Structure 1
Amino acid sequence: MTTVTSPVAGVAVGLAAVPDPVFSSAMVGPGTAVDPVRQPIEAVAPVDGIVVSLHPHAFVVVDADGRGVLTHLGIDTVQLNGEGFELLVSKGDTVGRGQALVRWNPVAVEEAGKSPVSPVIALEAGTDSLASVLEDGSVDTGTTLFTWK
């Protein structure tokens, strides 16, 4: 079983409330999302593993069981071309849960007309493979968002 923790502090929101049909319909995979606190923050690894994909606005960490967890920092933030995001690790790095991977500012994302809501997705997982999915309430960085059976 893989425990996936929040990469940012904020308020948990269910995927259905994410303002992007690709995420809200779980096309990318099941999971949840976090509406982050409005201040400059660091997004951290939600699991121990290897960074297999790294963009200013999104990253995937694959754990020892081969399970990939996507963290997407905001919606349509790819259109910002990295503006306001600072990478703190490199693709291929081994990281520990809670290790800072990207520094960013949700306020700047909002000011650019984008939503800072950040989906956390279990890639290639069946919808019934997640348990205890957190879909509301405040979360701290490191709060368990869901478990992957």
Structure 2
Amino acid sequence: MAILEINGQEYEAKGSFAFARKADDLLGTIAEKSKTGKQEGGLNNLLGELIDGAKDLDALMHFWQCALAHEKKIKLTDIESALEKRIEEEGTLELIKEAYAVIDESGFFKRAVEKFWSNVDIMSKIESDDEKENQQYQLAIEMMTKAKAELTSTK
């Protein structure tokens, strides 16, 4: 369970329509096929940030902005302050694991997460005439598989 204490009150992260909209607003891109110009793919990009590990602070800020999007009274600076406190106490790995678990276990995002990992599996089968490109694909798949194992492991 992912909980953030803000101004003395505990807030639990949860998947929701507001989460999905905020993820698209923050991290989505405008799809070429979209006639409305609506941003899409925010959840996949957030998953990528959580898995990548290169920008944990950004990933955590984005996650909590999305997870608390339904709470209109919470400001970005409130989230930042609460995260700073937890990061100082715990580091980032446990917070990243909690964030991933919220997305992975949410009924709102179950199908999207399954599709994400299915696409990773499909990528592992791609072969190119270029040996260097094949090696890069395999390294990327290996990195993502290891990251998933790390994020889903218990303490």
Q: TM over 0.5: same fold?
A: no
**TM-score, length basis structure 1:** 0.29
Structure with higher RCO (Cα < 8 A, 6+ apart): 1
